[in-house]
Amino acid sequence: RAVSDTCKVPAYLAFAAPNASAELRRRRRQTLYIGLSDGARIDVLRRANAGTLLNDQIVLAAHIDH
């Protein structure tokens, strides 16, 4: 929804509109996924998003150092 609001397109066109699709890829790359416990099932997240998420976007820690 944030991408569709930014690009002024309906939410259902966020994957189809060229400018919205580029914005969606940019925001997806800037997102950090944090697993707060050992049971966070990060393996499922990685397999479901193979080729979309990078390993450096996924952290298994409650506190991240600088």
pLDDT digits (tens, 9 = 90+) for 20-58: 989 988 988 888 888 877 777 888 888 898 888 888 888
* Whole-number CA gyration radius for the chain: 14
CB atoms within 10 A of CB 38: 8
Q: What is the pTM of this model?
A: 0.63
Locus of tokens 């944090």: 34
pLDDT category, 10, cuts 50, 70, 90? very high
Task: List the structure tokens of 40.
Answer: 């966070």
